[in-house]
């Protein structure tokens, strides 16, 4: 019992992974601006969405930034996959989301709260100092700032408030978009069966965040 009481092995870090995409950059910006300092968290870079997906599937990472379509297909093999944040929505093209597992939400609840807080601060920084933020994010992606800005302007980043509006509720407003994406995948033969959007979404962390 004494040995057990003295065993204070630190918990492994919460690991986030993503490939290069402007909509994912606010999370890396949060790290680079020091908003995630002291958080038990590690951010990983992958060369492609497929690598990110495989890392999530094999439990090398706890959080993955993926397109909604990839997340829906991935859930066939991971029934407890949950969408906890909407990242961006390029009109008529794609939506990107942050996914995790039920068990990770329980195990890393505090760290995920801190991650969302840092992400929100990075989004605020992007609004207050857009040129400096764009320069930092463009540098990380290895592209000229004007090119990065053009890509960013072509999409819509979801704010914390927008996430709360879309994901909290019965039914959640974003559910219609998820159902539409599922119908497309079903028609393409990439899904065999759809699920109720409320089973995919976990808005616990968003509900706890200040509005």
pLDDT over threshold 60, residue 6:
no
Domain regions of the chain by residue span: 11-158
Residues in a beta bridge with 86: 97
Spell out the alpha helix ranges (H) of the chain.
Answer: 2-6, 25-32, 49-57, 68-74, 102-107, 109-128, 130-141, 145-153, 160-167, 175-187, 197-200, 204-208
pLDDT score recorded for residue 89 = 86
Output the CATH code of domain 11-158: 3.40.190.10
pLDDT at 2 over 70: no
Q: What is the DSSP string of 82-116?
A: EEEEEEEEETTTEEEEEEEEHHHHHHTHHHHHHHH
Q: What is the pLDDT of residues 99-146, one digit of tens each?
A: 999 999 999 999 999 999 999 999 999 999 999 999 999 988 889 989
Q: What is the pLDDT of residue 140?
A: 87
Rounded to the nearest integer, the mean pLDDT of the chain is 92
**What token pair was written down for 208?**
């706890």
pLDDT in tens, 60-76: 999 999 999 999 999 99
- The pLDDT value recorded for residue 75 is 94
The pTM of this model reads: 0.92
Q: What is the pLDDT of residue 11?
A: 87
Q: How confident is the model at residue 4 (pLDDT cuts 50, 70, 90)?
A: low
Quick one: what percent of the chain has pLDDT higher than 70?
Answer: 96
Which residues does residue 94 pair with via DSSP β-bridges, in sequence order? 90
pLDDT at 41 over 90: yes
Residue 210, pLDDT score: 74
């Amino acid at each position: 019992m004494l040995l057990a009481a003295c065993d204070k092995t630190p918990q492994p870090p919460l690991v986030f992974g993503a490939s290069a995409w402007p909509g994912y950059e606010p999370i890396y910006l949060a790290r680079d601006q020091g908003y995630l300092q002291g958080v038990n968290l590690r951010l990983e870079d992958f060369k492609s969405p497929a690598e990110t997906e495989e890392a999530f599937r094999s439990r090398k990472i706890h959080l993955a930034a993926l397109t909604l379509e990839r997340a829906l297909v991935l859930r066939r093999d991971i029934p407890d996959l949950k969408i906890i944040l909407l990242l961006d929505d390029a009109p008529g093209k794609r939506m990107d989301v942050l996914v995790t597992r039920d068990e990770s939400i329980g195990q890393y609840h505090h760290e995920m709260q801190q991650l969302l807080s840092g992400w929100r601060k990075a989004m605020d920084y992007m609004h207050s100092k857009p040129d400096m933020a764009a320069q930092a994010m463009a540098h990380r992606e290895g592209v000229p700032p004007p090119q990065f800005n053009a890509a960013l302007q072509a999409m819509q980043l979801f704010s914390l408030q927008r996430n709360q509006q879309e994901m909290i509720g019965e039914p959640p407003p974003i559910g219609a978009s998820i159902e539409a994406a599922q119908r497309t995948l079903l028609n393409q033969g990439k899904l065999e069966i759809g699920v109720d959007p409320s089973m995919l979404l976990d808005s616990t962390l968003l509900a706890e965040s200040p509005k």
